[in-house]
Structure 1
Amino acid sequence: MIDEKTAREAVIRAADELFYTRGVQAVGMDAVRTAAGVSLKRIYSLFASKDELIVAVLHHRTTIWDAGLATTSERATSARERILAIFDFLDAWFREPDFRGCAFINAHGELGASSSAVVDAVREQKRTFQEYVARLVADAGAPPALAPQLAILAEGAQTTAAISGSPDAAHQARAAAETLIDGATGRLDR
């Protein structure tokens, strides 16, 4: 018998893959059980409900998102480049063969009207991303009003890439971000 932490991680990973690929509502707990190799009884001892599992998956996705942003940002050599690294991260993500859009936007679209726990988890992730962008903007010495503009560009790029099936939205959003940053900071040279 696997320990609780290992079982929990297996269930979250399996549910994450299934939810992201098929959609949250299309996946039953039997499918999660089969993919995770963990009994339903054990799953329900780890997660009291499917909603609780969905929230755990969203927290897992937040960890992946934050780590990806941090890794991409580490290569940047200036505050401006750290902001633009957001769009480089998106470009790499959009090119992954299993890209299906933002799991948070997808979950909100499926369950926003029926699950306050999912709405809260999605809003928390979006809020922390906006705070991350605001810190980068402050580090760059740009006006605070730039942060929500850049966050909207990133969010819009995710939706556009998912719907169009093309990663080009990241490059286009990066170009728009450069224009916004340069305009906000008075930078005329490139």
Structure 2
Amino acid sequence: MPAPITDEQNRLDREALLDTAERLFYARGIQAVGMDEIRAASGLPLKRIYRFFSAKEDLVVAMLKRRDQRWRGNLASHVEQVPDPRERVLAIFDWLSGWFAEPGFRGCAWINAYGEFGPSSEAVLAEVRAHKQAFRDQIAVWVHATGLPVTEPVFLLAEGAIVTAGISGDPAAARHARAAVATLLATL
């Protein structure tokens, strides 16, 4: 009889499964990757995968939630190193530029998920909306420190740069958005 699976092994297997799903979904698209492929790439039996996530949709939502925490955490680590409030807002775009230039960059995982699921999955739609609201709120904190009422334009320029870079494959979108925000901050 096999030894029982420990809580620590469950945690490690769940993280490895989420790593595999994120890598495959982001690289190839959620709909293009079947659960058998996730099973093969993760090395976990399907029965075990479905104990963690009863449906592919649940796996997608969990992957997006975890990616949100890491993505916004990395952004905050970069931006919050900058002491000047206006420069901190510009640092958002410096971080985006670095992300856009990473190998395998395929745009926004949440926009991609929305593009594949649209309103057909309430759970995925809710997670996409939660991420976008959290990103907007994060930007609002940094913009508020400048004393200028420009949260919406900064957020829209960041979102536009992400979509543009994802489609064009050109990280220059971050530089262009940064220049627009710099002009906006200088004129108010």
Q: TM-score, normalised by structure 1?
A: 0.92
Do residues 162 (structure 1) and 186 (structure 2) align?
no
Please report how far the alpha carbon of residue 183 of structure 1 lies from its aligned counterpart in structure 2 after TM superposition: 2.2
Q: Give the whole-Å Cα distance in 2 for the aligned partners of 1:137 and 1:147.
A: 6
Partner Cα separation in structure 1 for residue 88 and residue 171 of structure 2: 20
Matched AA of 2:158: A
Q: Please name the residue that 1:187 is paired with.
A: none
Structure 1 moving runs of 4+ over 3 Å: none
Cα contact 1:58–1:121 (8 A) shared by 2: yes
In structure 2, how many angstroms separate the alpha carbons of the residues matched to 1:118 and 1:182? 39
Whether 1:151 aligns to 2:164 is: no
2:130 is matched with 124
Q: 1:154-190, CA deviations, whole angstroms, 9 ceiling, x for partnerless residues? A: 1110111111111100000000111122223xxxxxx
Contact 1:69 / 1:85 at 8 angstroms: preserved in 2?
no
- RMSD value over aligned CA atoms? 1.1
Offset at residue 81 of structure 1 (A): 1.3
Tell me the equivalent position of 1:51.
Answer: 57
Q: How does 1:69-148 map to 2 (within 5 A)?
A: 69-143=75-149, 146-148=150-152
* Alpha-carbon distance between aligned partners in 2 of 1:154 and 1:68, rounded to the nearest angstrom: 16
AA aligned to 1:70 is A
Matched residue type, 2:177: A
Which consecutive residues of structure 1, in runs of 5 or more, have no partner in the other structure? 185-190
Task: List runs of 5+ in structure 2 lacking aligned partners.
Answer: none
Pairs aligned (count): 182
- Cα deviation for residue 75 of structure 1 reads 2.6
Output one character per residue of 1:72-100: Cα deviation in whole Å (capped at 9) or x when no partner: 11331211111111101100000001100
* The 10-residue stretch of structure 1 (163-172 or 68-77) with the greater mean CA deviation from structure 2: 68-77
Residue in 2 that maps onto 1:22: 28
Q: Render the CA deviation track for 1:6-49: whole Å, top value 9, x for unaligned.
A: 11101100000000000000000111111111111000000011
TM-score (norm 2): 0.93
